Every structure is written in C-alpha cells, then in structure tokens.
Structure 1
Amino acid sequence: MPQDYDVTRQVWEGKVPVEFVLAAHECTIIDAPKPYYAMLPRISYFPLALERAYKYFMSAVDESEVNKDDVWLEYDGYPLKWHYPVGVLFDLHKTDDVLPWQITVHLKKFPEDDIIRCAGRDALESMFMQSLKEADQLKHRGEIVNTMQKRDHKQLWNGLVNDRFDQFWLVNKKLMENSGSNTFHFVPMRLYKTDKPYRQVLVKPMNEAAERTTLAEACRIFDPGFDSSSSRVVSHGVEVPLDTPVIWLAENLAYPDNFVHISILSS
C-alpha cells in the first residue's frame, strides 16, 4: 500500500494554538504577565517550545527561587507528560472546542509522583532517537536504522526541531520502506487513554486470515474489552475509521518517531 504524500504533508503541518499562562500564585509582581502565545506543531514536543516561554515569564518571578528543572505544565488539573507529542496530549486532554489551548506554566512544586523530569533538549533528542530505533526494530528488525550514519540521525532530529518536512523525509523515507525484503514485520503502535500510561503490544500488518489487520482489530489486541459503540479512536485530531488498515496508518499517520499514536476517548 503506497504512501500518500498529501496525507503525510498535512499531518506534518498540523498545528495547535497554545496560550501559556503563568500560575497566578507563582507570580511575584503586582501585574501578572500577559500570556505567551505559540503555534506548536502537533508532531513536536513541549520542551522544544518551553524554553522561550520560560524566558518570557522570568521577568515576573524571583529568579533566585526558580530552578529550570522544576518547570512543568498543567491543563485542567493534569500535569502534562513532556515525552508525549503535543498532538497526543491535545487529543487526550482537550475536551472542548475553545482555542487557543490554555496551559498553565508552573515554576515550582514539581509533581514527582505524576510525571518525570525533562533533563533538557539532549534528553529529549535521546528519547526521540530511542523511540525511532524501537519503531524500526519492530518494522525491519533494526536493519535500516542501524545502517544509517550519525549525520542521518541528526538530520531526522534537526528536521523535527526546525519543522522542516523535506529535510526530515529525505531520510525518513528509508524507514518507511515496505517492499521486498524490507516489508514491515510489525506495526509500531501506541494506544493512549486519558488516565493511564500508553500501551504497546505487537500488531502484525496481516491477520491470521491473511487479510490486512484493521484498526478495530488492533484496538482489541490492546484492549480485549474495547467497545467501538462507546469509544472514539483519534489520531492527529481526526476520528479514524475502525476499518482502516494499520499498515496504512503506519505509512501515512505515523509521528516522526515512526510510531502510530492512537487515543481512545469516550464518545
């Protein structure tokens, strides 16, 4: 099943308008700072945008009392996981149509029991590359990513960081090879629910009947109790038809880490 260039391009260009506001009780000046606005790629990660927001809000706090490692984000009472893509977090937590997405920036009292710390951009890059290598291990037993040179890995990362589709896909197309000896063994998929960690299990492109595995079948592999009548299955902000072959999802809707990220929401 060939890749659809128009779909992958539209997926890449998806954006979320975000309004960062400083937690009111952490402001040390009389007039609270105005919000910081940003258009964030769905496929990106909050730490890549947070540095600018952090610098913006520093004028409103006592710098001597702030540790950059203590910065965290919250929406509607939920601490946001920095290692989840922006689009996944939006799909999981944003239940209304009000935009921009207002997110509270906290500079203190990091919720150690709920989320892990981000040790900086290098840690994010390491996490991203590890996830990408894991995806290729599932698809090609690592045979493609392991033959790439360091500059290829860097090009993938820089393409994501700088929001450059062509730069990224010049290398990523090799990881999407699905023909001949490079056909996918498994489809890299992660399924999310709002109040639970994501789940990841082995999903084959073809089922036991030698037919293409559908999204509905994959959801039941992840959750045998999956009920399509009471659930919406969403990726990139779009409800995905349950009869969609998972191989098509892998070729067209995968995030830059090469995983298909699916959110299961109550209908």
Structure 2
Amino acid sequence: MAEDKEILRELWNGQIPVQFVLSSDEITALASEAPQPFFALVPRQTYFPLALDKVNRHFLKYISQAAGQEMWLECDGAPLRHHYPVGVLFDLYGDETRLPWTLTVHYSNFPESELVHLNSREAIEAFFMATLKEADVLKHRNAVITNMQKKDHKNLWTGLSNDRFDLFWSVNKKLMETSIEMPHFRNIPFRLYQPDKSFLQKLIKPVDEEDHRLTTLDDLLHQTLTNINVSSAVVLIQGIEVPRETPLQWLSEHMSYPDNFLHICVHSA
C-alpha cells in the first residue's frame, strides 16, 4: 500500500492560482459597472463544480436574469471538461509560466455535446463514486469498495469535497492495499490524455506476465500511444515529469487522483 505519506500530502496540497473572468456575452445591460475578475487558489485534486460557489456569487449580479444558471468554463475558446480533475485540466491546457490561469465564465449556451451536466453536489458525488468503483474493479475486482460500509463511502466523498486529507486517506488506504498473496494490483487504473482528444484507456498489468518484470510508465506509453514519438513527448502526472522507468504499481499507489485513477497528460514535442 502507499506508505510515503509526505508525497501523498504534498500532492493533496497542490493548488492552482486561477483568474475567473465573466464572458462579455453574459453581462446584462443593467449592470452599473464591469465585473472585476475573481481570483482563487483551486486545489488540483478537486473538480471545478466543487470550487465555484464564491465565483458564482461574485458574478451573479452582473448576468441577465434570462441566462441559464449552470456555470461552465472556457479556456482559450474551448469548454473545459469539468468532470476531469482540476489538475488534469491544468496539465492539459494551462501553462506554469503564465499564472494565474485565466478562465472565462459562462452561464448560457451550455455546450451539451461536449460537457457533462454536474449542476449539483449530488451529481458530482455520484460521478466521483462511479469512477472510484471502476478503479476498484480494475485493481481488486470491486472487492474492496463493495465490502466498505456506507460511512466509508461518505468519508471518501467528505474528505475530497471538504479538503480533508486525513479523513479521505483513513479510508482510501484500503483501496491501495496489497497482500502477500496479491502483492500488486490486478490492473492499473489509468487514463491518458492529449489536448483536444478523448482520453485513452486499456488494460495494463503492473507486472509483465511473460518475464515477470515490473511494468513501467515507459511501457505504458509505448503500449498506448502509437501516433506520436513517445521518447520526445512531455508527460505529466500530477503536474510532474515522472521518470519513465518508474513502476506503474508505485505510481498508482502514490500519484493517483482521489478517484484512484492515474491521470497521465501527454504533449507531443
């Protein structure tokens, strides 16, 4: 199981400075002044719909009453897929040299074909738990999460949504456990992203069944990406360029997002 708590805590504490700007299309003619941007530090591990209450209150007085109420975000003209973790979105579309990250806020013309509706905390919780269960199916054939009590499920969600590291990991450590009989996960839950493409996902085991060698990040990249030069690509996990020889088992235990997936962002050189 994951044992280096300092690594886990450092990743959990990661934040991204964001400047939220209201789209000019949303501003009502009755507004007496142009809205000021709203600045916030947003945790990398969360989802934007969980972090926008204050942003919403800041801009509501400027928008037309006829506008829809489900906020969505745009980055450089493209809707942000807010069902991806914030850190994944930044690793795909942000730039460490241009901070704060500027995002445009919209309320109307929700892009139905591109975004998932997550307009309540209950909807976000359901989406998160479904993803978490998928990860457990891959790692343990769903044996861990189905044996948890309802309060454990609630503590996972409360820990994430209320930014409580110790509460979350008091339960999540069970999902990271291995045993003498099963020293590795059955498969590595991962999703691989490239800008403006659907993510890639396939079954990859943490140990090669032929030579019993630990499967590495480099192995995963070469098995999954056939359309780019992997050796020259920039690969980010949790905003970090991880050494390619790192075993997937270790990465899955220590660098997965709260949904227990290893989210890997790849930029072609």
TM-score of the aligned structures, taking structure 1 as reference length? 0.95
Identity of aligned residues (%): 47
Q: For residue 168 of structure 1, report the CA deviation from its aligned partner.
A: 0.4
Q: How far did 1:209 drift?
A: 1.5
1:205 counterpart residue number: 206
1:54 to 41, 53, 56: 56
Gaps of 5+ in 2: none
* Contact 1:139 1:188 (8 Å CA) reproduced: yes
Equivalent residue number for residue 40 of structure 1: 42
> What letter corresponds to residue 105 of structure 2 in structure 1?
V
1:230 pairs, out of 211, 232, 241, with: 232
1:244-263 correspondence to structure 2 within 5 Å: 244-263=246-265
Provide structure 1 residue ranges, at least 5 long, that are not aligned to the other structure: none
For the aligned residue pairs, the C-alpha RMSD in angstroms reads: 1.5
Deviations 1:195-240 (A, max 9, x none): 1111111110111311100101111222234423330110111111
Distance 1:96 1:254, change over 3 A: closer
Shift of 1:242: 1.1
Paired residue type of 1:200: Q
**Greater mean deviation of Cα atoms: 128-137 or 175-184:** 175-184
The alpha carbon displacement at 1:39 in A equals 0.8
What is the CA–CA distance in structure 2 between the aligned matches of 1:181 and 1:57, rounded to whole Å?
55
CA contact (8 A) 1:220 1:226 kept: no
Superposition deviation, residue 96 in structure 1: 5.4
In the alignment, the residues of structure 1 paired with residue 32 and residue 229 of structure 2 have an alpha-carbon distance, to the nearest angstrom, of 51
The answer on whether the counterparts of 1:219 and 1:226 sit within 8 Å (CA) in structure 2 is no
2:194 counterpart of 1:196: no
Report whether the alignment pairs 1:115 with 2:115.
yes
Partner of 2:216: 214
TM-superposed CA distance for 1:2, in Å, is 5.3
Find the aligned partners of 1:239 and 1:120 in 2 and give their Cα distance: 34
Task: Tell me how many residue pairs correspond in the alignment.
Answer: 265
Mapped partners of 2:253, 2:261: distance in 1: 10
SS at the partner of 1:237?
coil
Listed one character per residue, the Cα deviations across residues 106-141 of structure 1 (whole Å, up to 9, x for unaligned) are: 111112222222232111100100111111111111
1:68 matches 2:75 = no
Which residue matches 1:20?
20
Find the residue that maps to 2:198 and give its secondary structure.
Answer: strand
